[in-house]
Structure 1
Amino acid sequence: MILDNLPVAVPRQKVDRMGEKSHERGFQVGFKGTFEGKSVLQRKEKSYFINNHLNFKVMYHEDLEARTARVAGFEVTPLSSINHEYNKWDEENTKLTTCKHGKPTVFGTNSVPQEIVAHNEVVFTYDVTFESSNIRWASRWDSYLHTNGDQIHWFSIINSLIIVLFLSGIVAMIIMRTIYRDIANYNQLAQDEVQEETGWKLIHGDVFRPPENSSLLCVHVGTGVQVFGMSLVTLIFALVGFLSPSNRGGLMTAMVLLWVFMGLFAGYSSARLYKMFKGTDWKKMSLKTSLMFPTFLFAVFFVLNALIWGEKSSGAVPFGTMFILVLLWFGISVPLVFVGSFLGYRKPAAEDPVKTNRIPRLIPLQPWYMSPLISIPFGGILPYGAVFIELFFILTSIWLNQFYYIFGFLFIVFAILIVTCSEITIVIAYFQLCTEDYRWWWRAYLTSGSSALYLFLYSIYYFCSELEISKLVSGILYFGYMLIGAYAFFVVTGTIGFLACLWFIRKIYSAVKID
């Protein structure tokens, strides 16, 4: 329920703070339990109570100079299973003997709640009281946004960031020192010509050989650039206050529009990579870039929305909105992808630092710890560790109907995620090249992208530990939307790691002397 764009909330008194009042968004429709004495005990017995009377309190702030008043608060106190009485039912003018006109309803504290059983008649009622408040209209959201500001939240995030920054610093220092020593040794060996090439320099003739399914890799990189650009700009807008929780739907609208217009960068980046792989059919590749990821999202979203339609829920997206989304997709996003691909393909291809041999080199037997089944899942642990604490609060705001507003911390976590994805991918790719395995293209993308697997596994744990969902349709909705989120997280983290690894490998092979 919303009044003057302010959601209704139940006032709560915090125990750990001196008299500070917070709000819990919305109210419970009912509960399951048993009544003993003057208290309701939450038990597993199938006794149901329903909040069929609502005490609304509308708080207003008066502006004495303008002689006006504005809504500063909207609270509700639900009362459980009131057994309303009346003399005669009239559809237009029923007079209840349990409610008196002009007086707030206060029963329910001393009376026994009526248990709801099959075929019971339930009468829903409400009353409204108005109360003057010192809270100004500009500050009326403070009590809502302070609901989640517990100290555990802040200390957990700070602790996580410190650990990730410390690990990232160690990894960066080790890699930089190792690389500088290798380059110095290789250049010295090139001058002395007393030893043969070893390690990553030995495979310089194969390291830039195009991978298998190169067009699919280009599509995923372009899609990752599109989602990354959308996420970054959305975070910046939210950080400066353009996407406040008070603006209902503003965050989702901004994300959809930014994703549509970021199609230009998706087409450009995928075309540049495709030309570096010496691809020729750039139009087909552009079509895949504009259709693959959105088709998956739209197919899952349409199925989930059809389930909501089947349940006759008001939360279903109307057909008109679905048509507008399809129109934005094919009318703006797809043409922008082709424009970006055309601009990117017109530019000359990036020249490789070293020449590629015609005959592929034989890859030696790899150590067990460099197996893709081990190194790829291991590489996703650190990026996931950078976001898993913040992920809990994001899931809570989505599925438990709470507000998320700490966009400053979220922006820092996003920056740390970029650093960790880049560094862990570079580390594993470097060790792979040192074992003379030049098939790094897909490995680099999947290494950091595997963090999405842990995200989805955590969503399963969150479903079992935090949510109380028993209906099949509700469970399908949860895992369907989490699958979309995990896939988007996969393309973003995979693209970050891949582009960082590409830059790193081009740098080290351009720094050594190759005969």
Structure 2
Amino acid sequence: MKRSWATCFFLVTCLIQKSCSFYLPGVAPMDFQKKDLIGLKVNKLSSVRNVLPYEYYSLPYCRPEKIEHSAENLGEVLRGDRIENSLYQIQMRVDEQCKVLCRITALSTAQAKAFRTKIEDDYRVNMILDNLPVAMVKMRKDDRKSSSLIKTYERGFPVGFKASMEGQTEVKFFLHNHLRYTILYHKDAQTDLARIVGFEVEPFSVKHTYEGVWDKTSPVLDTCNPGRMTFVTHNLPPQPVVEGMEVIFTYDVRFLASDVKWASRWDTYLMMLDDQIHWFSIINSVMIVLFLTGMVAIIMFKTLARDISKYNQLESSDDAQEETGWKLVHGDVFRPPSASSLLATYVGTGVQLFGMTLITMIFALLGFLSPANRGGLMTAMLMMFVFMGLFAGYFSARLYKSFRGEEWKNMTLRTALLFPGTCFSIFFALNLLIWGEKSSGAVPFGTLFALCFLWFGISVPLVFVGSYFGYKKPAPEDPVRTNKIPRQIPEQPWYMNPVFSCLVGGVLPFGAVFIELFFILTSMWLQQFYYLFGFLALVFIILIVTCAEITIVLCYFQLCSEDYQWWWRAYFTSGSSALYLLAYSAFYFYSKLTITKTVPLLMYFGYMTIISYGFFCLTGAIGFYACYIFVRQIYGSVKID
């Protein structure tokens, strides 16, 4: 049985990876000898102004005779990564200057327009060498040492730039057609082998010239020739993007020895100068937790303990009826709520998302989902969500049976389809728009088929399996009996209004995570790496505690007001933090992003809607189960005649 499950998992992984070779960050490093040929691969074109990615060869760059696509996992495809071979020839530890890549005799109108459009939208070119992304060096001031500078990387390099010539007002576009690669390597002291530890680039725009007729076999340039000049200088005229203009693409390669070891080669890529902000976020969240913990402690150890002791000492039920507070609704507090099937569905979905987040976080903390494993994080999240369907079915069925529901098959089907169906509908609609823009971010049919297979072939059956075993078990016995006739709920004060109390309850969970949310959104939409999973794990723990405690506090106040309809309110109290997340995403869009086009705008708000919806289910389930355990405990501690 274990072998069959392992085989099934392996086959599914092979389907997603499109091959049976696993791409993990823990693979052995590549050792290169001198003059070994290193394959430089090209990746997508990306922009922070227009979040639609495009294939590298969507622009008229130099193409090899046969374009070969590297095997990509599911996460890479969903992110729009398209890794392909290139004409760049790089030999290990061999410096080269002014190598001619190719020549475009005359830019056509369509080619010039394509270049101008990408330059206007600030698109950057991404390349990969030995699994390292190309980056431009940026020297920034170190906040910890005001007098020193620190080396950081900026991913990719611009397609070109626009500027107005001296004495002119017209803005012209110029192309980066000369690239100077600097490859850092760490050499083994005992052997002649070396490992690549850095991949830097410096782009130039140069209008190349040559004498006589163009020699295809060994062209000689006046503007870039090792025998005539050492490096390209900024004094040369730039390469304009004009119809009918000749464009020559060239590049330099130089190797520099480095003390950086292979295990530390990603440190510069992942360097962040604002760790203090993360610690401030943690301290801010801890203060919120301490405040709520103090309130819960007062309720649990003072107020509740006193109430329970007093109720248990009463000798007559008449005296008990004269009391007010949460004990008076003991006969109605476990009355099944309205739309109990839907509530069980949402609770099961929240458990599924909680399991996905927890296990993915553990793998990330162990280093399996580092940025070196491109697409690994998204792939892991999708796989964990699929397999957590087993727990979604189990917990939703257990709760539904405690509500004395009988249509468990309909409830199970809703659990399997509601949340994934909503997310897939939004995703599919956006994918049609992205496909219309001819972007590499459009998910191909094969990947859509793989997603549907994961959903209907694995997730849905697992939900039904979990639901079967969950409904098969006997329902948990309520600590008190439920009256046949519902008790009338007295008029509530204004501050106990359901909408008001739920909105208040969502503030603190959101406040515990909103600073870390800024970095997550920055990594998603501003093309930056996010790797601080240790901080994220602490914030996640704080989020769990905050959701549980604020829900318990507000539920206690609700029961003290003799309002026993707590089921849905417990879910919405912490789940309402998703409204603040959606509002913050809108604020982030208008304050940090420069997106102006319609499809990227719809992409942003579409994906943020999906994230907010998932956050609602996750936090709502946490608050619900905290309140559920709390209510069962307090009513199980009193003697009811």
TM-score range (shorter-chain normalised) is over 0.9
* Cα distance in structure 2, aligned partners of 1:188 and 1:393: 54
* Residue from 194, 200, 207 that aligns with 1:75: 200
* Residue from 273, 285, 304 that aligns with 1:161: 285
Percent identity reads 61
Is 1:142 the counterpart of 2:267? The answer is yes
* Cα distance in structure 2, aligned partners of 1:277 and 1:356: 12
* 8 Å contact from structure 2 (residues 509, 546) kept in 1: yes
* 8 Å contact from structure 1 (residues 104, 128) kept in 2: no
TM-aligned CA distance change 1:450 to 1:190, over 3 Å:
farther
Report the TM-score when normalising by structure 2: 0.75
* 8 Å contact from structure 1 (residues 55, 104) kept in 2: no
Is 1:435 the counterpart of 2:565? The answer is no
The equivalent of 1:5 in structure 2 is: 131
The equivalent of 1:310 in structure 2 is: 436
TM superposition shift of 1:513: 1.4
| Amino acid of the structure 1 residue aligned with 2:312 | N
* 8 Å contact from structure 2 (residues 174, 241) kept in 1: yes
Runs of 4+ in 1 over 6 A off after TM superposition: 89-94, 102-105
TM-aligned CA distance change 1:446 to 1:35, over 3 Å:
farther
Report the 3-state secondary structure (helix = DSSP H, G, I; strand = E; otherwise coil) of the residue aligned with 2:200. Answer: strand
| Amino acid of the structure 1 residue aligned with 2:469 | L
Please, which moves more after superposition, 95-104 or 193-202?
Answer: 95-104
* Per-residue Cα deviation, 1:373-398 (whole angstroms, up to 9, x for no partner): 21111100000001000000011111
The equivalent of 1:402 in structure 2 is: 528
| Amino acid of the structure 1 residue aligned with 2:209 | E
The equivalent of 2:495 in structure 1 is: 369
Is 1:174 the counterpart of 2:276? The answer is no
The equivalent of 2:393 in structure 1 is: 267
TM-aligned CA distance change 1:424 to 1:121, over 3 Å:
farther
TM-aligned CA distance change 1:318 to 1:193, over 3 Å:
same
* 8 Å contact from structure 2 (residues 296, 552) kept in 1: no
Report the 3-state secondary structure (helix = DSSP H, G, I; strand = E; otherwise coil) of the residue aligned with 2:196. Answer: strand
Report the 3-state secondary structure (helix = DSSP H, G, I; strand = E; otherwise coil) of the residue aligned with 1:379. Answer: helix
* Residue from 19, 22, 31 that aligns with 2:152: 22
* 8 Å contact from structure 2 (residues 177, 239) kept in 1: no
TM-aligned CA distance change 1:353 to 1:88, over 3 Å:
farther
* 8 Å contact from structure 1 (residues 104, 127) kept in 2: no
* Per-residue Cα deviation, 1:126-160 (whole angstroms, up to 9, x for no partner): 332222222121111111122x2424433422332
* 8 Å contact from structure 2 (residues 508, 546) kept in 1: yes
Report the 3-state secondary structure (helix = DSSP H, G, I; strand = E; otherwise coil) of the residue aligned with 2:314. Answer: helix
* Cα distance in structure 2, aligned partners of 1:143 and 1:495: 39
Please, which moves more after superposition, 392-401 or 165-174?
Answer: 165-174
| Amino acid of the structure 1 residue aligned with 2:151 | K
* Cα distance in structure 2, aligned partners of 1:173 and 1:366: 25
* Residue from 474, 478, 494 that aligns with 2:620: 494
TM-aligned CA distance change 1:91 to 1:215, over 3 Å:
farther
TM superposition shift of 1:66: 3.8
* 8 Å contact from structure 2 (residues 278, 516) kept in 1: no
State how 1:346-425 maps to structure 2 within 5 Å: 346-425=472-551
* 8 Å contact from structure 1 (residues 32, 45) kept in 2: no
* Per-residue Cα deviation, 1:418-459 (whole angstroms, up to 9, x for no partner): 000001111111111111111111111011000011001111
TM-aligned CA distance change 1:350 to 1:73, over 3 Å:
same
Is 1:481 the counterpart of 2:607? The answer is yes
TM-aligned CA distance change 1:52 to 1:459, over 3 Å:
farther
* Per-residue Cα deviation, 1:329-363 (whole angstroms, up to 9, x for no partner): 11111111111001001100011111111111111
* Per-residue Cα deviation, 1:101-146 (whole angstroms, up to 9, x for no partner): 5899743533464665677665544332222222121111111122
* Cα distance in structure 1, aligned partners of 2:461 and 2:490: 46
Please, which moves more after superposition, 309-318 or 117-126?
Answer: 117-126
* Cα distance in structure 1, aligned partners of 2:214 and 2:339: 72
TM-aligned CA distance change 1:101 to 1:423, over 3 Å:
same
TM-aligned CA distance change 1:46 to 1:272, over 3 Å:
farther
* Cα distance in structure 1, aligned partners of 2:230 and 2:437: 34
TM-aligned CA distance change 1:113 to 1:288, over 3 Å:
same
Report the 3-state secondary structure (helix = DSSP H, G, I; strand = E; otherwise coil) of the residue aligned with 1:226. Answer: helix
State how 1:191-202 maps to structure 2 within 5 Å: 194=319, 196-202=322-328
TM superposition shift of 1:246: 0.9
TM superposition shift of 1:318: 2.1
* Cα distance in structure 1, aligned partners of 2:249 and 2:441: 22
TM-aligned CA distance change 1:193 to 1:259, over 3 Å:
same
TM-aligned CA distance change 1:151 to 1:261, over 3 Å:
closer
| Amino acid of the structure 2 residue aligned with 1:65 | Q
The equivalent of 1:41 in structure 2 is: none
* Residue from 354, 360, 377 that aligns with 1:251: 377
Give structure 2 stretches of 5+ with no counterpart.
1-126
* Cα distance in structure 2, aligned partners of 1:45 and 1:471: 24
| Amino acid of the structure 1 residue aligned with 2:583 | L
| Amino acid of the structure 2 residue aligned with 1:153 | I
Please, which moves more after superposition, 248-257 or 500-509?
Answer: 248-257
Report the 3-state secondary structure (helix = DSSP H, G, I; strand = E; otherwise coil) of the residue aligned with 1:10. Answer: strand
The equivalent of 1:186 in structure 2 is: 311
TM-aligned CA distance change 1:114 to 1:361, over 3 Å:
same
Report the 3-state secondary structure (helix = DSSP H, G, I; strand = E; otherwise coil) of the residue aligned with 2:392. Answer: helix
* 8 Å contact from structure 2 (residues 282, 538) kept in 1: no
* Per-residue Cα deviation, 1:141-196 (whole angstroms, up to 9, x for no partner): 111122x2424433422332332232232222222222212212222335695451
* Cα distance in structure 2, aligned partners of 1:490 and 1:45: 50
TM-aligned CA distance change 1:186 to 1:103, over 3 Å:
farther
TM superposition shift of 1:64: 3.8
Report the TM-score when normalising by structure 1: 0.92
The equivalent of 1:127 in structure 2 is: 252
* Residue from 249, 258, 278 that aligns with 2:404: 278
* 8 Å contact from structure 2 (residues 136, 153) kept in 1: yes
TM-aligned CA distance change 1:285 to 1:317, over 3 Å:
same
Please, which moves more after superposition, 7-16 or 150-159?
Answer: 150-159
* Cα distance in structure 1, aligned partners of 2:436 and 2:215: 33
RMSD (CA atoms): 2.4
Report the 3-state secondary structure (helix = DSSP H, G, I; strand = E; otherwise coil) of the residue aligned with 1:248. Answer: coil
* 8 Å contact from structure 2 (residues 179, 252) kept in 1: yes
Please, which moves more after superposition, 279-288 or 85-94?
Answer: 85-94
| Amino acid of the structure 2 residue aligned with 1:363 | I
TM superposition shift of 1:257: 1.1
TM-aligned CA distance change 1:33 to 1:497, over 3 Å:
farther
* Per-residue Cα deviation, 1:5-32 (whole angstroms, up to 9, x for no partner): 1111111212224343121222233445
Is 1:54 the counterpart of 2:179? The answer is yes
Please, which moves more after superposition, 164-173 or 432-441?
Answer: 164-173
Q: How many residues align?
A: 507
* Cα distance in structure 2, aligned partners of 1:6 and 1:159: 35
* Cα distance in structure 2, aligned partners of 1:246 and 1:57: 20
Structure with more of its chain in helix, by fraction: 1
